[in-house]
Structure 1
Amino acid sequence: MGVERAVAELGVLIYPGAQMAAVHGLTDLFGVANRIAAEHQAAQLPLLRVSHWQVEGDQVPERVYDTHPGPAGALVAVLIPPSIGGFSERQAPQELIRWIRQQHANGATLGGVCVGSILLAESGLLDGRSATTHWTSAKAFAERYPAIKLKADTPIVDDGDLITTAGLMAWSELGLRLVNRLLGPSIATGTARFLVVEHSDSASECGSNFSPILNHGDASILKVQHWLQSTGATDVSLAAMAERAGLEERTFLRRFRAATGLKPTEYCQHLRVGKAREMLEFTNGTIDHIAWTVGYQDPSAFRATFKKITGLTPSDYRGRFGVSATAAVAR
């Protein structure tokens, strides 16, 4: 008797003015990923289930489509597509905002494409965090949401539980990032090759960008994870994490590892290196400055940890995947 495959459900939001090409494109992308995973006979990988959630007025989003109808479960991710006609905060009803916040509280990763990031901004979840959006709305975005660290020149900001992208067609990279997380880099690369779309080489060559497990169901540990993501884990201690979780330290250690698969120190290292990878790819800051920014007082310790996780030194990583290297290849 075969083992029943796990299911990972990804919800795609359909709001008034949403780009339907992105809605259906994401659905097809995940379908291709499922087929490639099946061809690899990777029964241990989850089946990607895609559902569409329609927004009508000030009502809670309603499921209107499901690629694999079955019992309702928690969403692994919620994807907010772009809008060709533009989008403003006036189109963000409170019931929708509450629903988005609830999905995040339940452990879903949230992804906003282009101006779809406005909905994430309206939810308040991006406050104190880094994000990007389409260049045409960058000025208004920065003025309305001063608590968000806007990186308008960065095409994608992958902050673990919150992902934002800047381009109208960036839904494909967002989808591939999630395939990478859920099915692995080889399936993501195969999906990109089949669809003939670009995909970041850094994820496949140096291990996936840090993708924390969020849908484990332990609310106390999830609370700490969200806190670590928001602070960058730059100055934290075991005692502070245990206090945030409301648990005794030994209990916290046991539950944290059971939920995330990592010790708290390892988790923080992966989170910091993930942020450093982004800075090495998209900024020209010195490596010592990047080390300090992500929480390392000792640059040599940062270099050692970075190489242990990615297999490359920070300078080699920048030379291979930095924007200047990419531009040189393009020329």
Structure 2
Amino acid sequence: MGMESAVAELGVLIYPGAQMAAVHGLTDLFGVANRIAAEQCSAQLPLLRISHWQAQADQAPVRVYDSHPGADGPLLAVLIPPSVAGFSQAQAPLALTQWLRQQHAKGATLGGVCVGSILLAESGLLDGRSATTHWTSAKQFAERYPNIRLNADKPIVDDGDLITTAGLMAWSELGLRMVDRLLGPSIASGTARFLVIEHSDSASQCGSNFAPILGHGDAAILKVQHWLQANGAVDVSLAVMAQQAGLEERTFLRRFRAATGLKPTEYCQHLRVGKAREMLEFTNGTIDHIAWTVGYQDPGAFRATFKKITGLAPSEYRARFGVTPPTPLARAEQG
């Protein structure tokens, strides 16, 4: 008998007006991913455990469905489906937003689909961060949440621990992102092929988008990770990170690597390159400007780090995966 696989639990939130097609669609998508992973007979891959959480009027959400009942563990992610009927602030009671903050503080990645991103905004977790939402909600969203950097023209903003999407049907791409993170790009691509749905192939061809390990249980290190995600790992140093953690530098280095599997410098490189990949795919800024935006003063160092991590030069990556036509200046830079 082989050893049992680890379990990774993904919670799907059900709130008043939530699109149940997305709730059940995500459940089926993860079930297909589990089957494909099992067919590959890889004991290294975790089993995806899918749970549904029903929002209460004045209480924290409660578990109402569990694909693989067992001992309760920490949620690796909480996914918030869209609402066909739109969204009102009445759907975000204090108990629900507090629960979302608690799950995030424990290391869960939070993903909001379409107007589901408004629940994340109501929780305050998106303050100072980048996000997207459905185009019909963009004006109201920008006015109500001025501290959030709204990018309503982007279909998805993957900010590591917080993911927002703009389309009603984008729950499938959010689900595939989580499969990519937990089971790898080949399982994500296989799941997309089986379900005959679109999935960006940039992850499978250039390594997964940066997916930080957040469920390690070290609160001091998680605090630094959330801080790095919020500021993009720009203008940071070992001393500043250790100070954020409240640890001596040598202790911080040891615990950071134990928790994340990376040295702090490597972690910051992956985070910056992840943000650069998104900018190369969805914006038409020059590569030098993108390098500066993600924290590199030397464009040459950025290009070298980008190619080391993705296997492609930034210009090659944009030519293959970019969805926004480059400006004349960007074309000249790439030529």
CA distances 1:36-78 after superposition (whole Å, capped 9, x unpaired): 0000001110000000000121211000000000000000000
Aligned match of 1:180? 180
What amino acid sits opposite 1:321 in the alignment? F
Aligned match of 2:145? 145
Partner Cα separation in structure 1 for residue 197 and residue 42 of structure 2: 23
Aligned match of 1:70? 70
Give how far 1:90 is off. 2.3
Partner Cα separation in structure 2 for residue 104 and residue 151 of structure 1: 22
Aligned match of 1:15? 15
Contact 1:131/1:148, CA 8 A, preserved across alignment: yes
Percent identity, aligned pairs only, is 84
Partner Cα separation in structure 1 for residue 141 and residue 51 of structure 2: 29
State whether structure 2 residue 35 is matched by structure 1 residue 35. Answer: yes
Aligned match of 1:45? 45
Partner Cα separation in structure 2 for residue 93 and residue 70 of structure 1: 29
Contact 1:5/1:47, CA 8 A, preserved across alignment: yes
Q: TM-score, normalising length from structure 2?
A: 0.96
State whether structure 2 residue 159 is matched by structure 1 residue 159. Answer: yes
Aligned match of 2:331? none
Aligned match of 1:108? 108
Aligned match of 1:88? 88
What amino acid sits opposite 1:67 in the alignment? S
CA distances 1:211-236 after superposition (whole Å, capped 9, x unpaired): 00000000000000000000000110
Contact 1:319/1:325, CA 8 A, preserved across alignment: no
Contact 1:233/1:268, CA 8 A, preserved across alignment: yes
Moved more, 316-325 or 52-61: 316-325
Aligned match of 2:291? 291
Give how far 1:91 is off. 1.4
What amino acid sits opposite 1:306 in the alignment? F
What amino acid sits opposite 1:208 in the alignment? S
State whether structure 2 residue 311 is matched by structure 1 residue 302. Answer: no
Aligned match of 1:329? none
Aligned match of 1:271? 271
Give how far 1:286 is off. 0.4
CA distances 1:124-145 after superposition (whole Å, capped 9, x unpaired): 1101110000000000000000
CA RMSD of aligned residues (A): 0.9
Partner Cα separation in structure 1 for residue 262 and residue 56 of structure 2: 41
Aligned match of 1:243? 243
Contact 2:132/2:157, CA 8 A, preserved across alignment: yes
Query: Judging changes above 3 Å, is the alpha-carbon distance between structure 1 residues 325 and 195 closer, same or farther for their aligned structure 2 residues?
Result: farther
What amino acid sits opposite 2:65 in the alignment? Y
State whether structure 2 residue 134 is matched by structure 1 residue 130. Answer: no
Question: Aligned to 2:115, what secondary structure does the other structure show?
Answer: helix
Aligned residues: 326
CA distances 1:98-142 after superposition (whole Å, capped 9, x unpaired): 000000000000000000000100111101110000000000000
Question: Aligned to 2:22, what secondary structure does the other structure show?
Answer: helix
Q: TM-score, normalising length from structure 1?
A: 0.98
What amino acid sits opposite 1:124 in the alignment? G
Aligned match of 1:229? 229
Partner Cα separation in structure 1 for residue 316 and residue 143 of structure 2: 37
Partner Cα separation in structure 1 for residue 296 and residue 56 of structure 2: 47
Partner Cα separation in structure 2 for residue 202 and residue 70 of structure 1: 35
Moved more, 154-163 or 87-96: 87-96
Give how far 1:325 is off. 6.7
Moved >4 Å (runs of 4+): none
Partner Cα separation in structure 1 for residue 294 and residue 325 of structure 2: 23
Contact 2:212/2:260, CA 8 A, preserved across alignment: yes
State whether structure 2 residue 272 is matched by structure 1 residue 262. Answer: no
Gaps of 5+ in 1: 327-331
Contact 2:135/2:152, CA 8 A, preserved across alignment: yes
Gaps of 5+ in 2: 327-335
Give how far 1:2 is off. 1.8
CA distances 1:290-310 after superposition (whole Å, capped 9, x unpaired): 000000000000000000000
